[in-house]
Amino acid sequence: MTSPFPGLELLATAVLVLDDRLHVTYANPAAETLLSHGRKHLLGSALGRMLPGNDRFIARLAQAVADDTGFNENELALEIAGQPAMVHCVAVPVEEGDARLLIELRELDQQIRIAREAKFLEQQQANRELVRNLAHEIKNPLGGIRGAAQLLERELPEPELREFTQVIVKETDRLQSLMNRMLTPHRLPRIELLNVHEVMERVRTLLLAEYPGGLCVRRDYDPSLPDLPGDRESLLQAVLNVARNAAQALDGRGEMTLRTRIARQVTIAKTRYRHAVSLEVEDNGPGVPDELAGNIFFPLVSGRDGGTGLGLSLAQNYVHQHHGLIEFETAPGRTCFTILLPVRSPEQAGLARHSTGKATP
């Protein structure tokens, strides 16, 4: 069947056309995705059945049809597929065949996320540039400095002066290992199907071992999450870096929650995904200091004594390799870091399905 509204098929905004009884006469693909119902299911169905729990909104639409008027609501709280959603809604009266009302629904969370994500992409780019330049400038002379200090050491007339050349050697070694940490190792990712709860549990065990006593790590998991194709080591490292920061912010005494959820309609790096897995690390610590908040994903930005400021920059890189994104919200008493990982098929993630080993006739 060809669409009566071909132009609407390509829109990222959900568009539905309703008849006088508020039955759906048209739904574009974005509306199918938003409502989590296929077009076959939507067409001819009462919108109230497709959007249960939104009686006031449905009554408002009925009123608009009865009065032959439209409306425009900026922040409308709806329940969509069992979850609360903030949408921008425009309803316009139409008169075409059975069609009486055209409604356009745009998720606000999605807009906010797209804007934030664009900022993160810029940051990522700046991160990589900075790391490359710094590593280049610092790594090159290190070998020379270390070699020269060792040569000098051999020539020193008094053995007690070696203490100073030893300092040079030790400090160049420390810088070298810092540079090595900054340059994400170039090993090829090993993509396999992962259970994200196993990763979360591993992080929990490690943290409880690092902070025995005062740290309480709660779990709030959604058991229905799908397995994800990914690289176990780098995902583990990403979650661990984020969670370790939370434990450090709590000074080992306080409450942390590891949460997993499914997020709908997520746009990351200009790609729209129906679903993403969200891994959250929440703590009740003092929050990210205001002066750092805009920069914590940059390398070498740290608010902690003895911190190298690489943890989050590396975590963001690892998550980026999974086409995902880390974002955070912070206030004194509640800081939440969210790792969003889009749900991609094993094929999209470069994981070939296992062959059965049998030849197909």
**Closest to ligand ATP by CB, 70 or 303:** 303
Query: What whole-number distance in Å separates Cα of residue 302 and Cα of residue 307?
Result: 6
Q: Restricting to residues 324-353, which ones interact with ligand ATP according to CB under 6 A?
A: 335
- Contact status, residue 296 vs residue 288, Cβ threshold 8 Å: yes
Q: Which does 316 bind (CB under 5 to 8 A by kind): Mg ion, ligand ATP, none?
A: none
Instruction: Classify residue 151 as exposed, middle or buried by CB count within 10 Å of its CB (0-12, 13-18, 19+).
Output: exposed
296 binds, among Mg ion, ligand ATP, none (CB under 5 to 8 A by kind): ligand ATP
Among 93, 252, 303, 346, interactor with ligand ATP by CB under 6 A:
303
Q: Which residues pair with 79 in a beta bridge?
A: 84
Question: Residue 314: how many CA atoms within 13 Å on its side-chain side?
Answer: 25
Cβ contact 120:141 at 8 Å: no
Residues 239-258 that bind ligand ATP (CB under 6 A): 241, 245-246, 249
Q: Taking CB within 5 to 8 Å according to partner kind, which of ligand ATP, Mg ion, none is near residue 338? A: none
Find out whether 77 and 55 touch, Cβ atoms under 8 Å. Answer: no
Instruction: Give least dist CB 214 to ligand ATP, A.
Output: 16
Task: Pick the closer one to Mg ion by CB: 162 or 204.
Answer: 204
Q: Is 327 helix (H, G, I), strand (E, B) or coil?
A: strand
Question: Does 182 engage in binding with ligand ATP (CB under 6 A)?
Answer: no
Q: DSSP per residue over 72-90, as a string?
A: EEEEEEEEETTEEEEEEEE
Interface size with Mg ion, residues (CB under 5 A): 2
Q: With residue 181 as reference, give the H or E element that holds it.
A: helix 162-182
Residue with smaller CB distance to ligand ATP, 31 or 314: 314
Q: Within positions 213 to 242, which residues make up the interface with ligand ATP, using CB under 6 A?
A: 241
Considering only residues 254 through 313, tell me which ones interact with Mg ion, judged by CB under 5 A. 311
Instruction: CB nearer to ligand ATP: give 172 or 237.
Output: 237
Is the Cβ–Cβ distance between 219 and 258 less than 8 Å?
yes
Strand pairing partners for 84? 79
Residue closer to ligand ATP by CB (options 156, 331) is 331
222-261: contacts with Mg ion (CB under 5 A): 245
Residue 110 · residue 28 · CB < 8 Å? no
Give me the least distance between CB of 260 and ligand ATP, in Å please: 18
Question: Of Mg ion, ligand ATP, none, which one sits near residue 194, judging by CB under 5 to 8 A according to partner kind?
Answer: none
Of the residues 36, 123, 308, 321, which one makes contact with ligand ATP according to CB under 6 A: 308
Q: Which of 283, 323, 324, 349 binds ligand ATP (CB under 6 A)?
A: 283
Sign of the Cα torsion 21, 23, 27, 31 reads: positive
Please list, residue by residue across 64-96, b when 16 or more beta carbons sit within 10 angstroms of its beta carbon and e when fewer do.
Answer: bbeeeeebeeeebebebeeeebbbbbbbeeeee
Residues near Mg ion (CB under 5 A): 245, 311
Residues near ligand ATP (CB under 6 A): 241, 245-246, 249, 283, 285, 287-288, 292, 296, 301-304, 307-313, 335
